[in-house]
Amino acid sequence: MNLLKIILCLFLIVYSCASANAQSRTLTGKVISSKDGNGVPGATISIKQNSKSFSASNDGSFSISVPPGIITLTVSYVGYAIKEITVGANDNNISIQLDEDLKQLNEVVVVGYSEKKRSELTSAVSVVSSEKLKDCPQKEF
């Protein structure tokens, strides 16, 4: 009787590990610009079904864990139109082409370590021209 319980416990452990592996798959790919075909570094890839987000590497490539089945990805980057694509259950390697959207750049203000739209900005903003930057003393090391 004790041996039967041990065998049953081992079976349940193996079964739970196997089903845990079946709950996700790895999706690899690359985000590229439609203008020149170069990778888009740091593009944001979001899984619509679970709201998880990932960033592409410096060459636009990514490798993410996604749920099984058909999923919807939202891909975005500053200066490009947001793209929503559907990925099939058997697609494990994809290429996502982003189109430039220069209209988005009109209202972006870079603040410290983040970006905000001009309408979201609540503090004082200064503009420093390139001529003033040239006049700054430079230290040599």
Among the residues of the chain, which ranges form H helices?
2-21, 130-134
State mean pLDDT over 18-22.
Answer: 53
- CATH number of the domain at 50, please: 2.60.40.1120
- State pLDDT tens for residues 108-119: 666 665 666 666
pLDDT score of 22 more than 80: no
Total domain count, the chain: 1
- Does any domain span residue 6? no
Structural domain boundaries, residue 48: 24-104
19 lies in some domain: no
- Do the Cβ atoms of 43 and 88 come closer than 8 Å? no
Q: Which residues of 81-116 are buried (b: 16+ CB within 10 A; e: fewer)?
A: eebeeebeeeeeeeebbbeeeeebeeeeeeeeeeee
Tell if the pTM clears 0.85, that is, is over it.
Answer: no
- Could you tell me if residue 134 is inside a domain? no
What's the angle, vertex CA 39, arms to CA 85 and CA 88, rounded to 5?
Answer: 25
pLDDT tens for 35-60 read 899 999 999 999 988 888 899 999 99
The answer as to whether 52 is a domain residue is: yes
Residue 47, number of CB atoms within 10 A of its CB: 19
Residue 93 has pLDDT above 90, yes or no: yes
Closest C-alpha to 78, from 61, 47, 101: 101
Contact call for residues 93 and 62 (beta carbons, < 8 A) = no
Least confident of 20-24, 32-36, 83-87: 20-24
